[in-house]
Amino acid sequence: MVICNPASRGGRTGRGWPEVAAGLRAGGLDFDFAMTTCAGEATELARAAVAEGRPLVVAAGGDGTVNEVANGLLGAEAPDRASPRLGVLPTGTGGDFRRTFGLPSEAREAAGVLKAGRSRRIDAGRVSCVAPDGGRCVRYFVNIASAGIGAEVMAHVSRGRRVVNGEITIQLASVAALLRWRNKPVVVLIDGSRHQLVAQQVVVANCQYFGGGMRVAPRALPDDGLLDVVIVGDVSLTENARRMRKFRDGTYLDENNPKVTFARARRVEVSSAQVVRVEADGELPGAVPATFEVLPGALELVVP
Q: Which of the two residues, 247 and 275, has the higher pLDDT score?
A: 275
Residue 166 has pLDDT above 80, yes or no: no
**Length of the chain (residues):** 304
3-state secondary structure of 216: coil
Strand partners, 87: 58
Q: What would the mean pLDDT of 133-148 be, rounded to a whole number?
A: 97
**Residue 179 pLDDT > 70, yes or no?**
no
Return the sign of the alpha-carbon dihedral for residues 76, 78, 79, 82. Answer: negative
Question: Would you say residue 165 has pLDDT above 60?
Answer: no
> For residue 123, is pLDDT > 70?
yes
Please, what are the domains in the chain? 2-116 (3.40.50.10330), 124-297 (2.60.200.40)
SS3 (DSSP) at 243: helix
**Chain centroid offset of residue 113 CA:** 21
The amino acid occupying position 149 is I
